[in-house]
Structure 1
Amino acid sequence: MASLLEQLKQQSTVVADTGDLDTIRRFSPQDATTNPSLILKAVQSGSYDAQVQAILYGVRDHAGTLDEAVDEACDRLVVAMGTLILAQVPGRVSTEVNARLSFDTAASLAKARRLVELYAQAGIPRERILIKLASTWEGIRAAEVLEKEGIQCNLTLIFSFAQARACAEAGAFLISPFVGRILDWYRKADPERSYAPADEPGVLSVQRIYRYFRERAYPTVVMGASFRNSGEILALAGCDRLTISPALLEELAHTDGTVERVLADSGERAERPAPLREADFRWDMNEDAMATEKLADGIRGFEADQLKLEALLREQLAAIQAPAGRGEQA
């Protein structure tokens, strides 16, 4: 009998939620996703030492401040990692815009375009890239512009229906609703309550989003993310895409059983409502304590790991910086 993973691949596109090349090679996913936390983990593992050193030597004489050189090194690093990942998958890699830009549409656009430019310099066409943006109002507006420029986006840190709907209305290529982090919030709010995977709030949220998109013929891809257990994944079998961590890929690959399709396009269609206004979006988020708290927590967490990565690169860059180069940090 085929493993759960092999059966799941027949119903949903499986995406590796990792920057670890060995894991990607082992499980042969269609795509891969990265974020600042995964990038930091991959760099700390030593797997990308050669790329890191080459990049640092390439930017050590960068005109400007040390902080600007570190920022450039970070951009080149995520693109170098994405390029290596793309050598292992037939599809796309998601590369994230700095979380600190989550509330700045113009800065998010500039960073996204820079990442696409660096990929182009590496010979990677934009058709193999998804620019990952936090699903704030500002991030969604940036995605709307980028999609019109032919730069497709992955809107991440989705915790509410309002976020998902706004992304679809903006024409986003893909959204990543977070399943496990929603469960984390509900468990903290009510530690005594237990949930079967099929009844978890995060699972039900993704199911609602998927059905709403299909019934209204939005082409936006729904990719369930942030899973805490394999039961959550199986409860979303049939979802367009599922991005899965190495540990859960391992479990699914070595478990027998039967995967029953849960999600499918019913063929029913409904009229699309008028697009959400900014005031409506912000009010809906304000009324959803879980979504508001988890979005803020997610942005802070990614920024914390981004700062750790920058500190690591700054230390190494300062050590190799040419004596005639920039001597002080901004």
Structure 2
Amino acid sequence: MTALPLPALSLLVALLLTAAVVAAMAAVQQGLARAGLVARARRACAQHGKPGPTRQARLERETVDETRLVFRVAALCGLLAPGERMPPRLRLVLFALVVFAFAFLLARVGLAAPATVALALFFAAGGFRWHRWRQEAAMARAFEAQLPDTIGLMVRCVRAGIPVAEAVAEAGSEMAAPAGPLFAAADRQIRLGRPLEQALWDIAATVRLAEFNFLCVAVAVQRETGGNLAETLAALETTVRKRLALRLKVRALTSEARASALIIGALPLLMAVGLAFLAPDYLTPLLVTDPGRLLLATAVGALGLGGAIMSHLVRRETAAP
């Protein structure tokens, strides 16, 4: 029997791996959908006072536990955004295509099938996690830029005699994304009976900004002990504006260092990808021989350590006091 040539074998391995990833992600969607049905059934039983039998309750607990595991795996791979219950199908298709590309690339350089599968999944999940982290960071920066205006709007509403809950609703309707949709979601939760403090802390868990945590603490303290909330929020608005202006100034002064770190860190990866496509045999000794694997592991570790050090230094310089 004639053996398949290397490109055909690589393509076959990549296609099989892509099919496996698509099937796994379909299972993720089914598990998340089943968790939603179970949660709705449990809420209905609680509202009508009709708890299910022991077997049904045990099945629901097992389903929820399994779905939590599936949910964690999907979130670990970067397939779920904050607040999402199910990854969109387009994102699943893109994930499968990325896995296919990495598997094809690794199979071309002569890597074994188990290592090809593991590394393709690892690189695809890492890429999606990095993209998700970039999206969350961009959303947090946009929210931070809108925060002084949002607090100012709430200050004017409180000074006009409007309750804080209505001020949150006003911020949700007047502010643009991302602050507007987040405050609108908090307003819907408040109207459904969720306490104001918990709704605001949900926003804080999404944006992860110390300045917004101050707002949540100020509102919680005012509702418990009383006081002039308008003056507290006005002082907070002034402080946030000064911190934001200082952070932008420092970021502008360190732009050259950040660009240099990005270029230096990306050059080895770009060269490796180019060589893998143009001359795959050139990188084969690094993957199939013991000295090559040792050198590759040392190079990857050194590159990662250098990138972490540069990133830490840049973050330290751009962090506001």
Q: Which TM class, normalised by the smaller chain length? A: under 0.3
Structure whose residues are more often helix by fraction: 2
TM-score of the superposition, structure 2-length normalised? 0.20
| Greater Rg over alpha carbons, structure | 2
More strand by share: 1
Query: Which of 1 and 2 has higher RCO (CA within 8 Å, sep 6+)?
Result: 1
